[in-house]
A and B are shown apart, each in its own frame.
Chain A
Amino acid sequence: MKKADWILIGSILFVAGVLAAFLYFVPKNGSAVTVEINGKTVDRLPLSEDTTKAYADENGGTNLLVIENGKARITEANCPDKICVHHRAISRSGESIICLPHKLVVTVINEKETDGVDARAG
Chain B
Amino acid sequence: MKQSKAKTAALYGLLIALSFTLSYLEHLLPLPVGIPGVKLGLANLVVVTALYLLGAKKAFPVAVVRILLAGLAFGNAFSLLYSLAGGMLSFFVMLLCRRTKLSPVGVSVAGGVSHNVGQIAVAAAVMRTARIVYYLPVLLGAGLGTGLLIGLIAAPVIRRLKKGNINLHIL
Spell out A's residues near B (CB within 8 Å).
1-5, 8-9, 12-13, 15-17, 19-20, 23-24, 36, 38-39, 81, 83, 87, 94-98, 100-101, 103, 105, 107, 116-118, 121
Among B37, B103, B113, the residue within 8 A (CB) of A4 is B103
Within 8 Å CB of B101, what residues of A? 2-4
Partner of A95, one of B106, B113, B128, B134: B134
Evaluate contact between A23 and B36: CB separation under 8 angstroms: no
**Could you tell me how many residues of chain B have their Cβ less than 8 Å away from some Cβ of chain A?**
32
Determine which of A5, A38, A103, A121 lies in contact with B105 in the assembled complex, contact meaning CB atoms within 8 Å. Answer: A5
From the candidates A13, A39, A98, A116, name the one contacting B132 in the complex (CB within 8 A). A98
* Bound form: Cα–Cα A117–B78 in Å: 24
Main secondary structure of the interface of B (DSSP, over half): helix
Give the 6 A-B CB pairs with smallest separation, nearest first.
A39-B128, A5-B106, A20-B137, A16-B140, A4-B101, A19-B137
Measured between alpha carbons, how far is A118 from B36 in the docked complex, in Å?
23
Cα distance, A98 to B37, chains bound together (Å): 12
Chain A residues positioned under 8 Å from B141 (CB to CB)? 13, 16
A-B contact pairs, 19 of them (CB 8 A): A2-B101, A2-B103, A4-B101, A4-B102, A4-B103, A5-B105, A5-B106, A8-B106, A8-B110, A9-B109, A9-B144, A12-B113, A12-B144, A16-B136, A38-B128, A81-B36, A83-B36, A105-B129, A105-B131
